[in-house]
Structure 1
Amino acid sequence: MEPNVYIFGPAFSSFVRSVMLCCEEKGISYRYGMSPKGQSIRFKSSEHRTIHPYGKVPALLHNERVLFETSTICRYLDACFAGPALQPDSILERAQLDERCAEISIYIDQTLIRDLVLEFAFPKGPEGKIRQERIDKTLPAARQTLQRLTTLLGEHPFICGQNYTIADALLTPVLDYVELLPIGKELVGTGRLQGYLNRMRARPSGMKVLNIR
């Protein structure tokens, strides 16, 4: 039977990958891409905005429902499907998870993906070259953000403690892309963050999703 979970968005998007990781961890069958009904939808077209009013990705299509915003989608999938829980039970711990997810989705994503990774991936300098001055300007904030992540991780195996959660699904594609940059290994280092990234890459979900290029 064809999966009725469709992740609208390209697989290279870090946020699309986060939803894919959640599906893999939960054992949810899914499809993804920009053709939910077999016909390609152009990015930011009117058809796109009927799915996501701001012309962003991802969006989730499931049983005639449409949801957008990555953390919302992941919380829905966790609640709607059987499989390992991706959220804690206690009210306080769930609030702390939501806080961590927001920090990753807003602040950490902006610094590491929007300001740094995308400058390498889609350079806008003369003749399509990377704008080194933009990179140099971003690096102090990137290093500060990575130090923040190192502090949050501490000695725990996962970013919110002892269990894999939605926050790990959000963070893993970000760190994976950063570490793959020409300056990535120097930025991530060889300590806790690299160990964490190695573990996330080695999970079955990581091996499947992060290797899509």
Structure 2
Amino acid sequence: MAVLQILGKASSINVRKVLWTCAEIGLEFELTEYGSGTTNSVTTPEFLALNPNAMVPVIQDAGQVLWESNTICRYLAARHGRTDLLPQDPLGRAQVEKWMDWQATELNNAWRYAFMASVRHSPAHKDIAAIENSVREWNRHMEIADRQLQTTGAYLCGEQFSLADIVFGLSLNRWRATPIAHANLPALQTYFDRLCIRPAFLSYGANGIA
């Protein structure tokens, strides 16, 4: 079987979702660096032919091209029979995908402005009221996750580690690393400590990169 090809930069949070998933599966891959600086956008004709959205990551596997990080993670888990990461039964799978979709839409939209202002120092993100609102919404969404973890006592979807924890674990690491006022959420701290037991999270999550 040909080695999985991953296109993207190793510092990208979305690329790290895929790298962490590969590590959990034990999947060999080759990473080709695309993107530079603080942007995940790649506008070369070569790359646009693979992903017209101009964003990393992209994978090439078995002669096929796939983009969108959460979709790639789901594909890899399903392709390699990792029903522990993505259950086969419809309801179990939907529970995992629910949190993955929440991370990609609700949570990402909450943190984006504050992160761009506080970490990326983007000149387009200087509005104080917008920063404060983003911080408030970011903390509110993390409180949702904290309440879920209080209920499960382990991982987002219960006792079993899943793809939901990969995509959210990276978002949690970003929240912790960003210099904002953080809500006091003990269940998230316990959860973070639990993730840190996993070597793949230390390599691609809690590795000093927000």
Shorter-chain TM-score range: 0.7 to 0.9
Of residues 155, 175, 191 in structure 1, which corresponds to 2:186?
A: 191
Of residues 169, 174, 177 in structure 1, which corresponds to 2:166?
A: 169
TM-score, normalized by length of structure 1?
A: 0.84
> 2:115: which partner in 1?
117
Contact conserved, 1:10 with 1:34, CA < 8 A, in 2? yes
Counterpart CA distance in 1 for 2:208 and 2:58 is 19
Structure 1 residues without counterparts, runs of 5 or longer: 36-41
The farther-off stretch of 117-126 and 100-109 is 117-126
> 2:178: which partner in 1?
181
> 1:150: which partner in 2?
146
Counterpart CA distance in 2 for 1:198 and 1:131 is 34
Q: How far 1:196 sits from its partner (Å)? A: 0.8
> 2:38: which partner in 1?
none
Contact conserved, 1:9 with 1:34, CA < 8 A, in 2? yes
What secondary structure does 1:78 align onto? Answer: helix
How many equivalent residue pairs?
201
Percent same amino acid among aligned pairs? 24
| Runs of 4+ off more than 4 Å | 129-133
What secondary structure does 1:196 align onto? Answer: helix
Letter in 2 for 1:123: H
> 1:38: which partner in 2?
none
Counterpart CA distance in 1 for 2:127 and 2:197 is 33
Structure 2 residues without counterparts, runs of 5 or longer: 35-40
Q: How far 1:85 sits from its partner (Å)? A: 2.9
Contact conserved, 1:20 with 1:209, CA < 8 A, in 2? yes
Counterpart CA distance in 2 for 1:139 and 1:177 is 13
Report the CA distance shift for 1:5/1:175 in structure 2 as closer, same or farther (over 3 A).
same
Report the CA distance shift for 1:6/1:98 in structure 2 as closer, same or farther (over 3 A).
same
Counterpart check, 1:204 vs 2:192: no
Report the CA distance shift for 1:198/1:118 in structure 2 as closer, same or farther (over 3 A).
farther
Counterpart CA distance in 2 for 1:61 and 1:134 is 38
Contact conserved, 1:143 with 1:187, CA < 8 A, in 2? yes
Report the CA distance shift for 1:119/1:6 in structure 2 as closer, same or farther (over 3 A).
farther
Contact conserved, 2:149 with 2:155, CA < 8 A, in 1? yes
Report the CA distance shift for 1:21/1:203 in structure 2 as closer, same or farther (over 3 A).
same
Q: How far 1:116 sits from its partner (Å)? A: 2.3
Q: How far 1:151 sits from its partner (Å)? A: 1.8
Report the CA distance shift for 1:133/1:18 in structure 2 as closer, same or farther (over 3 A).
same
Counterpart CA distance in 2 for 1:30 and 1:93 is 28
Counterpart CA distance in 2 for 1:160 and 1:91 is 14
What secondary structure does 1:124 align onto? Answer: coil
Counterpart check, 1:32 vs 2:28: no
> 2:37: which partner in 1?
none
User: 1:38-57: per-residue Cα shift (whole Å, max 9, x none)?
Assistant: xxxx8222222112111112
Letter in 2 for 1:168: D
> 1:55: which partner in 2?
54
Contact conserved, 1:26 with 1:82, CA < 8 A, in 2? no
TM-score, normalized by length of structure 2?
A: 0.85
User: 1:7-60: per-residue Cα shift (whole Å, max 9, x none)?
Assistant: 21112221111111111111111122436xxxxxx8222222112111112111
